[in-house]
């Protein structure tokens, strides 16, 4: 019996052509394209890549902001049978070079705006691939639009199922970034879970402002594509531009990280625009402070909030907290239930499952889980031991299956023999009306081992003593900060996550 074709990421394009070829697919600034035009560009993109030597299984690196060119390359690579390597647009030349050396792409497509980084990248990559420039012609390099104009519409080289679809590099905030191997099955499995969750409907309009090299934004793109949504792109997050785009294009859905949620609520034009079109706000990638969540719900009472808890290694969220849960007094403080394609449990240090209510490491398994880390068999085996993806997160599960993430294992502070979870302290601090943002890390101490150190961004005046006293009214004394540092801003990754590793290093150095 001939084996049938498994899940494949180009399937939604075929569906869009059948169901609405002349409907609007993408809006990138003033440029609007239909699904018919988009698929034609994808097929020509595959022809261009094949002409540059891309064969099935070869990697194609893309360094570009959000936009319709990202769609060309994402699906053009799949159409050609290749593996996309979307590069973090906020990395340094050295970090980009590391990903290129590690993944060895057949070709690099780089947006014109990143050309100043190219000389340093070329020096650091011994086997530099051919370079194609998008977003404008550049002397000495092939131009993406010119190549597309001269290309023919290639036949699809169908890869599917467990065939590798993408290498997504982790942020590298705790060391050299690793390439996470995600298959067609993994990415589309999670996209189908999200698209079929009942929280999005055909005809939605999805705004992409979180970077698409991040798995949360990428999985949102794939899920909304399954529902044949319109896709509006902004090259980067800027609160005023996001608010204006929502109002102009009547955006119904958007994915944000908590720092973006706060920026929108704080922006002076937030209340001045009609944002009643927004139906769903998906948020994730980092913990959200309870005070910020309460504020967002109060400011947008008609919006259905959907929290996703997951990681790059799981193709997106392994648990979702749905709109109805946000209206529940206790469930709103959880991180939701496992999605349909994922099995989740809490284990102790010996990988034995713990009963409801007990804290341990969160582990998951299912088709959405990665195949492993690129060229890192030992780390892959350690992360996937026993057939379960070990997330490195501490949490507990209640009797109804709602998971409560307590902290990252590496973010736990050990002070005087007691475990302190930074998220709990941050939750107490964030309730103070003067606190705009905060992060809590351990500071080395000769007597206690570590002490609790808070780094705070204020919106109104407050002293360290006031904030510590505020925490003492809410959490045990040993959990309260012993030191408070005030800053104008916290260091953020390209995905909007607070860089706690950097803060820990600075606390260790006494900065």
pLDDT by residue (tens digit) across 312-371? 999 988 999 988 888 887 888 889 999 988 999 999 989 999 999 999 999 999 999 999
* C-beta of residue 438 within 8 angstroms of C-beta of residue 486: no
- CA triplet 413, 285, 322: central angle to 5 degrees? 110
Whether 76 is covered by a domain: the verdict is: yes
pLDDT given at position 446:
76
Mean pLDDT, the chain, as a whole number? 89
Taking the chain (511 residues) in runs of 10, the rounded mean pLDDT of each run is: 69 91 95 97 97 96 95 96 93 88 97 95 94 91 96 93 94 67 94 71 83 89 88 92 94 87 90 89 76 86 88 91 85 89 93 94 95 95 95 91 83 76 86 91 83 93 94 86 93 76 81 52
Q: The domain spanning residue 101 has which CATH number?
A: 3.40.50.980
Following DSSP, what letter does each residue of 418-480 receive, concatenated?
Answer: EEE-HHHHHHHHHTSTTEEEEEEEEEEETTTEEEEEEEEEESS---HHHHHHHHHTTS-GGGS
Q: Which of 228, 222, 226 is nearest to 255 (CA)?
A: 222
Q: φ and ψ at 74, to 5 degrees?
A: -55, -55
| CA atoms within 13 Å, Cβ hemisphere of 416 | 7
Whether 359 is covered by a domain: the verdict is: no
Q: φ and ψ at 504, to 5 degrees?
A: -65, -45
Chain-centroid distance of CA 54 in Å reads 27
Where helices occur in 92-183 by DSSP H, the ranges are 93-103, 118-124, 144-150
pTM: 0.82
Q: The domain spanning residue 436 has which CATH number?
A: 3.30.300.30
Which residue reads 């980084």 in tokens?
A: 117
Please measure the distance between the N-terminal and C-terminal CA atoms of the chain and give it in whole angstroms: 66
Q: What is the DSSP letter of 328?
A: S
pLDDT given at position 174:
42
Whether 363 is covered by a domain: the verdict is: no
As for how many domains the chain has, the answer is: 2
Whether 436 is covered by a domain: the verdict is: yes
C-alpha span between 261 and 273 (Å, rounded): 16
Domain limits for position 86: 7-182
C-alpha span between 240 and 497 (Å, rounded): 20
Whether 321 is covered by a domain: the verdict is: no
Residue 382 burial by Cβ neighbours in a 10 Å radius (0-12, 13-18, 19+): exposed
pLDDT given at position 400:
94
β-sheet bridge partners, residue 485: 455
C-alpha span between 225 and 204 (Å, rounded): 10
Whether 459 is covered by a domain: the verdict is: yes
**Domain final residue pick, 135, 164, 182:** 182
**Domain final residue pick, 155, 182, 209:** 182
**Domain final residue pick, 182, 207, 231:** 182
Whether 440 is covered by a domain: the verdict is: yes
> Following CA atoms 199, 200, 205, 206 in sequence, which dihedral angle do they give, to the nearest 10 degrees?
70
Whether 319 is covered by a domain: the verdict is: no
């Amino acid at each position: 019996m001939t084996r049938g074709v498994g899940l494949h990421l180009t399937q939604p394009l075929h569906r869009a052509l059948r169901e609405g070829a002349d409907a609007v697919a993408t809006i990138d600034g003033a440029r609007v394209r239909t699904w018919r035009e988009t698929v034609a560009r994808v097929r020509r993109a595959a022809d261009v890549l094949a002409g540059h030597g891309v064969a099935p299984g070869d990697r194609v690196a893309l360094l570009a902001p959000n936009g319709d060119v990202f769609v060309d390359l994402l699906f053009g690579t799949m159409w050609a049978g290749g593996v996309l390597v979307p590069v973090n647009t906020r990395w340094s030349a050295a970090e980009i070079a590391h990903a290129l050396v590690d993944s060895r792409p057949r070709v690099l497509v780089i947006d014109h705006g990143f050309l100043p980084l190219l000389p340093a990248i070329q020096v650091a990559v011994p086997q530099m691939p051919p370079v194609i420039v998008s977003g404008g012609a550049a002397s000495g390099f092939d131009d993406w639009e010119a190549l597309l104009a001269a290309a023919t519409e290639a036949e699809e080289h169908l890869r599917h199922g467990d065939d590798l679809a993408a290498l997504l590099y982790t942020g590298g905030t705790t060391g050299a970034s690793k390439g996470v191997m995600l298959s067609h099955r993994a990415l589309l499995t999670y996209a189908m879970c999200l698209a079929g969750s009942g929280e999005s409907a055909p005809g939605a309009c999805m705004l992409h402002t979180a970077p698409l090299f991040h798995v949360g934004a990428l999985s949102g793109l794939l899920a909304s594509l399954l529902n044949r949504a319109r896709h509006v792109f902004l090259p980067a997050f800027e609160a005023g531009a996001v608010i204006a785009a929502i109002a102009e294009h009547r955006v119904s859905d958007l994915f944000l990280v908590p720092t973006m949620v706060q920026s929108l609520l704080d922006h002076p034009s937030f209340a001045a625009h009609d944002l009643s079109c927004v139906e769903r706000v998906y948020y994730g990638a980092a913990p959200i402070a309870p005070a910020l969540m309460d504020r967002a719900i109060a400011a947008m009472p008609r919006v259905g909030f959907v929290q996703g808890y997951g990681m790059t290694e799981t193709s997106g969220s392994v648990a979702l907290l749905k709109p109805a849960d946000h209206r529940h007094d206790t469930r709103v403080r959880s991180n939701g239930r496992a999605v349909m394609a994922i099995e989740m449990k809490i284990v102790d240090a010996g990988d034995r499952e713990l009963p409801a209510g007990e804290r341990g490491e969160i582990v998951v398994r299912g088709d959405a889980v990665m195949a492993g880390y690129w060229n890192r068999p030992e780390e892959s085996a350690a992360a996937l031991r026993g057939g379960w993806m070990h997330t490195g997160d501490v949490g507990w599960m209640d009797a109804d299956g709602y998971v409560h993430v307590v902290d990252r294992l590496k973010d736990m502070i050990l002070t005087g023999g007691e475990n302190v979870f930074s998220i709990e302290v941050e939750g107490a601090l964030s309730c103070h009306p003067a606190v705009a943002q905060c992060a809590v890390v351990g500071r080395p101490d000769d007597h206690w081992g570590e002490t609790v150190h808070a780094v705070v961004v204020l919106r109104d005046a407050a002293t360290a003593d006031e904030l510590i006293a505020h925490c003492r009214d809410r959490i045990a004394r040993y959990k309260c900060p012993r030191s408070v540092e005030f800053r104008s801003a916290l260091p953020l990754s390209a995905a909007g996550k607070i860089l706690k590793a950097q803060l820990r290093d600075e606390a260790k150095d006494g900065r």
